[in-house]
Amino acid sequence: MSEVDSFEPDNLKRGISLKLTVIARVMRNRFDMSVTPHGITRSQWTLIALVATQPGASQRTIAERLEMTAAAAGRLIERLCSDGLLERRQDMKDKRAWRVYLAAAAEPMLALLTELGLAIESRTFAGLSPEEIAHLAALLDKVHANLIETKG
């Protein structure tokens, strides 16, 4: 492939797609490595983070957002409930349903996750101006919207 071929739009798109995949994997792996000494797994930290941003989520919603089965989400929720980090509360509108919330004991864990996440974000976006970050966010929003709209 010549130097000129690498700048063809299809090649650039393919390269960007690959870079996005690699960037996402590297970020997850870095975060995993930073939380491992604290005894937290990826599944646990993603669930804690999700419930922190969506308190009162149902098990079904959690499973969908984490792209896992409802049974797997249920086991993970149960584990974190037994560890005292999450709690289930009965849905006031549907007495058969339960909602998931952070327990008070999760606050230090959430603070740690936030601190570690901010450190990784700082390293990830080092050298980018606030304007560049805003522009990147806008471009990624467009890409995300395209994927959501096509659904397949």
DSSP 23: H
d(CA 121, CA 32): 14
pTM of the model: 0.73
pLDDT of 85-97, one tens digit each? 999 999 888 888 8
Which domains occur in the chain, in start order?
5-150 (1.10.10.10)
Asked if 55 and 101 count as a contact pair (C-beta separation under 8 A), the reply is yes
The values of phi and psi at residue 126, to 5°, are -60, 140
The three state secondary structure string of the chain is: CCCCHHHCHHHHHHHHHHHHHHHHHHHHHHHHHHHHHHCCCHHHHHHHHHHHHCCCEEHHHHHHHCCCCHHHHHHHHHHHHHCCCEEEEECCCCCCCEEEEECCCHHHHHHHHHHHHHHHHHHHCCCCCHHHHHHHHHHHHHHHHHHHHHCC
Task: Inform me whether the pLDDT recorded for 151 exceeds 70.
Answer: no
User: Which residues have CB under 8 Å from 49's CB, separation 6+?
Assistant: 110, 113
Per-residue confidence (pLDDT) for residue 106, from 0 to 100: 92
pLDDT of 30-86, one tens digit each? 999 999 998 888 889 899 999 999 999 999 999 999 999 999 999 999 999 999 999
Per-residue confidence (pLDDT) for residue 10, from 0 to 100: 78
d(CA 8, CA 21): 20
Task: Inform me whether the pLDDT recorded for 141 exceeds 90.
Answer: yes
Per-residue confidence (pLDDT) for residue 84, from 0 to 100: 94
Per-residue confidence (pLDDT) for residue 152, from 0 to 100: 52
Task: Inform me whether the pLDDT recorded for 122 exceeds 80.
Answer: yes
